[in-house]
């Protein structure tokens, strides 16, 4: 039977098929069996089989190993190999077919919607205990995600787990932390964006068991997990990009000075809203709106501009809302609340969506992958008559996301999007026309540092001497040397110097704010002390009627 292709088997259903592996469910009079067919079609797979043995033989050994340690696996039935002149070409692993068990990803997706919070936690606790016992026995599975782990509901909040991908199961008395973390990240990715942050932490603590490690060790472990998860996110993003490029025929992003000639797609896609916050952007707003007019909805939140900004916006199918300026975070949060569609593109008025980025976004909306909730976009800055491919680039920003999965955070003037879910990266550039000239740049620095210092003062931050000396120096070194600003000549030096000046001025104004607050607190303290001692004087009593010097409140000085 196995000498023929699976498509020719009677009573057979192909469960998985790719270049190297085919998994087939075969129905027989005595029951069902699953046959996993491995083809050694690459040098890498052939060398791996030569060194470690055929995949079918390793799966057989893995099943025996798990059964010996008390873990559930589909009952192994047979292993076949085909060799030519002693060289392995193909192998088959045959095991009993499971009927009542469900793949972990599908089970969690279907059941968690109907569970209470306690039921969700009970399932996560059972899964964490299974993984803890698995690792305590010195066992490791190379791929423990999605359909490779089956779930059986045993009733009364008890579950049993079956591992079905057995050719990468190994045993080691001292299992390394790297392998433990890899299995943890695989399960976390399988549970996906339907797991809250508190539930992820609960799952980790249940896996660690009691007593928990000290807080310092837990923080180190969490940092390693987050780094590994981000690396996996980037890896799968590259795979999805390659798959999408091969399926749709898209072209790579152009390099410096290149222009894409690829036309925009017109196929149906998920609707998208574009949110723009602006104030007196007559110079930039038309260019911005031209680059995003393909969106299904354009939401403009204007802070009562005194130039032609609103008039220009009315030339496009926009919804213009005028609202007083409450701050960067609050205004962006309001603009997001006005969007009607699930997908939202956040663009500033001095930015422009490149044709390459537009085509990538449309391709993303056509796929509408439920596993991805947001996309980071590289931003290319135009300043002093040139495109800055060093220093500021790529400067990834989360600009495309699902509205229900985000909230605005950060601190004025540096607001940011906080995403609950998985994110990928896009390659098309978002053009940023930042400042007209050096004078405009310095004016912006003065205003932004005023806001930043005020926000830090409200949070109780203090400016030390190291902030005034070391932080600007490090900013200059990072931009000019580490990020290649030195290769841009005098403009690179000017931008590095203004970046360092921004940091210095921010902490200098914070120090000034702290001095004003200390002065006011001292006066209030002295006033309360005189009242407590009964020595409060009348306004005509001596020199106390001389008013204290008054300083303008923060934000009114220019």
pLDDT bracket for residue 295 (50, 70, 90)? very high
Residue range 554-558: mean pLDDT, rounded: 35
pLDDT for 75-94, tens place per residue? 999 998 888 887 888 899 99
Residue range 297-325: mean pLDDT, rounded: 94
Q: Which of 153, 175, 156, 139 is nearest to 67 (CA)?
A: 139
More confident residue, 335 or 30: 335
Domain finish residue from 369, 401, 433: 433
The mean pLDDT value of the chain amounts to 81
pLDDT of res. 60: 93
Q: Both 69 and 106 in a single domain?
A: no
- Euclidean distance between CA atoms 476 and 500, whole angstroms: 5
Is pLDDT at 7 greater than 80 in this prediction?
Answer: no
Q: What are phi and psi of 144, to 5 degrees?
A: -115, 70
Is pLDDT at 255 greater than 90 in this prediction?
Answer: no
Is pLDDT at 339 greater than 90 in this prediction?
Answer: yes
pLDDT bracket for residue 555 (50, 70, 90)? very low
Tell me, yes or no, whether 534 lies in a domain. Answer: no
pLDDT bracket for residue 431 (50, 70, 90)? very high
Q: Both 84 and 14 in a single domain?
A: yes
pLDDT of res. 361: 94
Percentage of the chain lying above the pLDDT 90 cut: 33
Q: Both 107 and 88 in a single domain?
A: no
Tell me, yes or no, whether 203 lies in a domain. Answer: yes
pTM here is 0.54
Q: Both 378 and 472 in a single domain?
A: no
pLDDT bracket for residue 529 (50, 70, 90)? very low
Q: Both 225 and 345 in a single domain?
A: no
pLDDT bracket for residue 249 (50, 70, 90)? very low
Distance (Å) of CA 226 to CA 176, 178, 223, 383: 18, 13, 5, 35
Residue range 252-271: mean pLDDT, rounded: 52
Query: Within its chain, how far is the Cα of 216 from the centroid?
Result: 25
Q: Both 379 and 427 in a single domain?
A: yes
Containing domain of residue 198, as a range?
Answer: 102-244
Tell me, yes or no, whether 259 lies in a domain. Answer: no
pLDDT bracket for residue 547 (50, 70, 90)? very low
* Contact residues for 253 (Cβ-Cβ < 8 A; gap 6+): 260, 356, 427, 428, 429
Tell me, yes or no, whether 255 lies in a domain. Answer: no
pLDDT bracket for residue 267 (50, 70, 90)? low
Q: Both 92 and 138 in a single domain?
A: no
pLDDT of res. 367: 87
Is pLDDT at 254 greater than 50 in this prediction?
Answer: no
Tell me, yes or no, whether 249 lies in a domain. Answer: no
CB 140 within 8 A of CB 153: no
Q: Both 173 and 51 in a single domain?
A: no
Question: Ranked by mean pLDDT, which of 174-183, 417-426, 495-504 comes out on top?
Answer: 174-183
pLDDT for 180-211, tens place per residue? 999 999 898 888 766 788 888 899 999 998 88
Tell me, yes or no, whether 136 lies in a domain. Answer: yes
Q: Both 286 and 231 in a single domain?
A: no
Domain finish residue from 47, 75, 96: 96
Range with the lowest mean pLDDT among 4-8, 178-182, 307-311? 4-8
**What is the CATH number for 38?**
3.30.200.20
Q: Both 279 and 376 in a single domain?
A: yes
Residue range 87-109: mean pLDDT, rounded: 88
Domain finish residue from 400, 417, 433: 433
Question: Ranked by mean pLDDT, which of 252-261, 390-399, 407-416 comes out on top?
Answer: 390-399
Tell me, yes or no, whether 256 lies in a domain. Answer: no
- Euclidean distance between CA atoms 118 and 364, whole angstroms: 36
**What is the CATH number for 218?**
1.10.510.10
Q: Which of 351, 330, 481, 478 is nearest to 407 (CA)?
A: 330
**What is the CATH number for 318?**
3.90.550.10
Tell me, yes or no, whether 293 lies in a domain. Answer: yes
Q: Both 29 and 123 in a single domain?
A: no
Q: Both 179 and 234 in a single domain?
A: yes
Total tally of structural domains belonging to the chain: 4
């Amino acid at each position: 039977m196995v000498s023929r292709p699976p498509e020719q088997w009677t009573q057979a259903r192909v469960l998985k098929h790719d270049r190297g592996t085919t998994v087939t469910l075969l129905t027989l009079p005595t029951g069902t069996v699953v046959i996993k067919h491995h083809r050694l079609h690459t040098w890498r797979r052939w060398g791996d089989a030569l060194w470690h043995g055929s995949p079918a033989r390793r799966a057989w050994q893995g099943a025996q190993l798990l059964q010996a340690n008390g873990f559930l696996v589909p009952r192994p039935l047979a292993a076949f190999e085909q060799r030519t002149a002693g060289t392995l070409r193909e192998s088959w692993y045959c095991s009993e077919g499971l009927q009542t068990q469900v793949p972990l990803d599908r089970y969690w997706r279907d059941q968690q919607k109907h569970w209470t919070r306690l039921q969700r936690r009970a399932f996560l606790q059972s899964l964490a205990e299974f993984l803890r016992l698995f690792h305590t026995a010195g066992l490791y599975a190379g791929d423990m995600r999605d359909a490779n782990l089956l779930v059986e509901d045993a009733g009364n909040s008890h579950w049993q787990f079956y591992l079905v991908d057995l050719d990468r199961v190994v045993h080691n008395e001292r299992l390394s932390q790297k392998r433990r973390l890899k299995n943890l990240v695989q399960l976390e990715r399988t549970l996906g964006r339907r797991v809250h942050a508190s539930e992820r932490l609960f799952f980790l603590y249940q896996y660690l068991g009691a007593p928990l490690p000290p807080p310092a060790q837990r923080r180190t472990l969490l940092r390693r997990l987050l780094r590994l998860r981000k690396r996996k996110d980037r890896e799968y993003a590259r795979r999805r990009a390659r798959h999408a490029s091969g399926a749709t025929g898209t072209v790579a992003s152009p390099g410096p000075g290149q222009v894409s000639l690829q036309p925009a797609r017109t196929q149906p896609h998920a609707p998208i809203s574009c949110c723009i916050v602006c104030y007196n952007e007559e110079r930039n707003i038309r260019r911005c709106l031209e680059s995003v007019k393909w969106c299904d909805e354009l939401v403009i939140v204007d802070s009562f501009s005194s130039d032609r900004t609103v008039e220009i916006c009315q030339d496009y199918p926009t919804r213009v809302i005028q609202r007083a300026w409450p701050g960067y975070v609050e205004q962006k949060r309001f603009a997001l609340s006005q969007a009607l569609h699930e997908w939202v593109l956040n663009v500033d008025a001095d930015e422009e969506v490149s044709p390459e980025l537009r085509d990538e976004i449309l391709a993303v909306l056509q796929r509408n992958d439920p596993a991805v909730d947001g996309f980071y976009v590289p931003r290319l800055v135009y300043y002093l008559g040139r495109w800055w491919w060093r220093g500021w680039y790529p400067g990834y920003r989360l600009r495309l996301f699902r509205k229900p999965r985000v909230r605005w955070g950060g601190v004025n003037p540096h607001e940011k999007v906080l995403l609950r879910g998985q994110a990928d990266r896009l390659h098309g550039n978002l053009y940023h026309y930042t400042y007209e000239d050096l004078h405009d740049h310095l004016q912006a620095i003065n205003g932004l540092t005023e806001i930043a210092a005020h926000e830090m003062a409200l949070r109780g931050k203090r400016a030390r001497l190291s902030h005034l000396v070391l932080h600007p120096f490090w900013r200059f070194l990072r931009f000019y040397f580490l990020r290649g600003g030195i290769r841009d000549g005098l403009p690179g030096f000017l931008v590095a110097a203004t970046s360092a000046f921004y940091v210095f001025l921010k902490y200098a104004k914070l120090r000034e704010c702290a001095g004003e607050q200390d002065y006011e607190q001292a006066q209030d303290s002295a006033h309360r002390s005189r009242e407590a001692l009964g020595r409060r004087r009348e306004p005509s009593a001596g020199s106390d009627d001389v008013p204290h010097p008054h300083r303008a409140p923060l934000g009114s000085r220019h």
